[in-house]
Structures are given as structure tokens and as C-alpha cells.
Amino acid sequence: MAADPLFNPLTVGDLQVRNRVWMAPLTRCRSLLPGHVPWELNAAYYRERATAGLILSEATEIAQEGRGYPGVPGIFTAEQIAGWKKVTSAVHESGGTIVCQLWHVGRASHQAFQPDGKDPVAPSAIAAAGDVHLPDGSKAPYPVPRALEADELPGIVATYRTAAENAKAAGFDGVELHAANGYLIDEFLRNGANERTDEYGGSVENRCRFPLMVLDALIEVWGKGRVGIRVSPLGSFNDMADSNPLPLYTHLFGELQARGIAFLEIVGAIHGDDIDDDLLQKINAAGREAFSGTLALNGGYEGDDARTALREGQCDAITFGTTFLANPDLPKRLKEGADLNESNPATWYSRGPEGYVDYPSMDGGPVPRSDDPS
């Protein structure tokens, strides 16, 4: 029988990972309030999933200005750094590898989250359609954000740099730039949210300028071999679109190649997206052709289609989201062809251990801690 491609080890930049079953970044809203601090509950959750080849942490705020959800963790205070140390230690003690996904939500916020009730910021003063979930549990329409001035952007780059330094202090193995799903970096990339007429808008080169400035700052802190990026070229979440995504992302992928970063994660259909599959395949192929680092794909993959994607050379790894949420021992289940737990959407963003650390392993007992070859 041919070897299972999901379980071949992989070199990812400067990292060595045990398999190609990666845990996608999953917002869970379980940090300790009021400080948005990771704590023992989060450490238990990540420890259970440490048999992933690579864990991409949940999206993590680089500053309060980047917040748009209640209960999500940050990495800009001493308490948050100390909390993340509990998580990274738990993962490392269990033989796992974890990188921190750095996040600024941009326009996908509300004055209720912002310091002194200020307006959220974005590349352009264009509100996202839909509602934002507020700290008190109510909802409100997304407000019109304030368009950032060009001279403010170096300050945001510096905030990302500090967050990357904090991630290193917290014991992470690297960082992933969140450039997907309608948040600040994605908003600069795609012209549905970016109508600027200066050097940060218009052409694909201009729209990539600020995202690449941020990426360069992360490389300065971590080195290119421990930096990755997540993009969602066709995702509509948070009211996102682009008029011509293939040349945009082809250009971006070339810039990633020039920088030699460790990995690129391309997100397909999530949140019920109805996307153009042919166009997605062209974009994925452009990533494969232009970028020689590790390519990970995401978007509803299961065991068999993940294996097919790997065998055909479409990618080097698969990031699993909802299935990893509900199956802490997902690599073992995929390896043995076992049934999967179904996730409960009602508890995805709730506050306690229910639906977080109570999904059973295959034998109903604790998830194995260390040295599991899967």
C-alpha cells in the first residue's frame, strides 16, 4: 500500500513538522476577560490538538485598535504574553509546533471595541455590509470606518513588528500574517474595500504595498523561515470582493517568492461562500507555480480529497478547521479511517469548556500527549 501522503514529514522554512494535517486558525472567543488573556482553558484546548503537523493559532489582536470580537486574545500586553506562554508550553510539551496568527480587523469593528470610542480604521471609508457582534451581546450595523492617512501606515507596521516580537517572547515557533477574510490586510489587497488613489491603492502593485511592508517587518523579527501568510482571494466574508483577483494574487505570490517566506496558506470556500471553482483552481495553480515555499490549502477538505490534493502536487499541506475543532485527535482519526465527531455551531463562540475541550478522542479518553507518530 502506498504511504499515506497526509503523514509524510515536511520541512517548512526553518521548521520541521511531523505531518501535513495542519490545524487552521479558529476564532473561539475563550480568552480571559477583561484583559483578553489566554489562560489554562486555552492551553488545554491547544494541548489536545498538538498532534497536528502545525497549529496556526486563532487570530490574535496586535492592538486594541485591531479588535472586532469579544473574548478573542491579544498579544500586546504583558499579561497576554504570559498567557500565551502557557499555551505554547503545553503544545511543546506534547511534541507540537505552533505559530501565532497576527490580526488587525480593520473596518470589521465598532466604536464599542475601540480606545476612547474612536472610529475603526480601514484603507477607505467604506462600511462592510452586515452586523457586528458587540461586547454586550447585542448586534449593530458595521460603521463607516475612517480612512487611514498614508503617514499613519508606518505606525501600524511598527505595531505588527512589536506583536511579532511579543510572539517570540511568548514562545511561538513563528508567525502567520492574517491577510484574509475581510480584515485590514485583506482590505488593502482587494479593490472592493480599497478605493485609494495614492500609492496604496489602484494598481495591484500599490494595493500590495502595505501588506508587504507588514510582511517585511515580520521577517525582520523572525527571519523568512518562520513567517507565513494566509489569503482568501475569492472569499466574500465581511463583504469582500475584488474585480480581478487572478493578476492581483499572481503578483502577490511573486513577491512572497522573492522574500522566501516559509509558507503560504490559500483559503477557498468558507462561511458558505459560493465561489468560482475554476477561478480558484487557477489562483491555487498560480500560487503553486510562483511560490516555491510550502503551500497549504484550506476550505472544506476531508481525508480523501486532502490526500488527492497532496498526491497530485496541488499543495504540500492541508489546514483543517471545523473538523479539528471537533476532533482533537484528528490526525489519528484520519490515519485509521475512524468516524469523526460532528461540531456544534452553537458552542463555537461561547465562553466555557462546553464545545471547546469536551470533544472526545477515539477511545473516549484523554487525547494522547506526546510522541504519537501521527
pLDDT digits (tens, 9 = 90+) for 239-279: 999 999 999 999 999 999 999 999 999 999 776 677 899 99
DSSP class per residue in 301-327: --HHHHHHHHHTTS-SEEEE-HHHHH-
Residue where the block lists cell 461561547? 350
CA distance linking residue 235 with residue 241, whole number of Å:
7
58 contacts 353 by C-beta, under 8 angstroms: no
pLDDT tens, residue order, the chain (374 aa): 469 999 999 999 999 999 999 999 999 999 999 999 999 999 999 999 999 999 999 999 999 999 999 999 999 999 999 999 999 999 999 999 999 999 999 999 999 999 999 999 999 999 999 999 999 989 999 999 999 999 999 999 999 999 999 999 999 999 999 999 999 999 999 999 999 999 999 999 999 999 999 999 999 999 999 999 999 999 999 999 999 999 999 999 999 999 999 999 999 977 667 789 999 999 999 999 999 999 999 988 989 999 999 999 999 999 999 999 999 999 999 999 999 999 999 999 999 999 999 999 987 765 555 444 33
CA distance linking residue 273 with residue 134, whole number of Å:
24
246 contacts 287 by C-beta, under 8 angstroms: no
**Reduced 3-state DSSP string for 229-288:** EEECCCCCCCCCCCCCHHHHHHHHHHHHHHHCCCEEEEECCCCCCCCCHHHHHHHHHHHH
36 contacts 337 by C-beta, under 8 angstroms: no
CA distance linking residue 301 with residue 286, whole number of Å:
20
Helix (H) or strand (E) holding 163: helix 153-169
Helix (H) or strand (E) holding 23: strand 21-23
CA distance linking residue 71 with residue 273, whole number of Å:
25
Please name each of the domains of the chain with its CATH number.
5-347 (3.20.20.70)
CA distance linking residue 64 with residue 61, whole number of Å:
7
Helix (H) or strand (E) holding 298: strand 294-298
pTM of the model: 0.96
User: How many C-beta atoms surround the C-beta of residue 78 within 10 A?
Assistant: 11
CA distance linking residue 251 with residue 257, whole number of Å:
10
Exposed, middle or buried by CB within 10 Å (0-12, 13-18, 19+), for 190? buried
How many CA atoms does the CB half-sphere of 189 hold within 13 Å?
31
What is the per-residue pLDDT for 371? 45
Question: Which segments of 90-160 are extended strands (E)?
Answer: 98-103, 121-122, 131-133, 139-141, 146-147
CA distance linking residue 161 with residue 214, whole number of Å:
8
DSSP structure class, residue 113:
G
Verify whether residue 183 is a known catalytic residue: yes
147 contacts 124 by C-beta, under 8 angstroms: yes
Of 183, 249, 356, 359, the active-site residue reads 183
Alpha carbon 19 to chain centroid distance?
A: 19
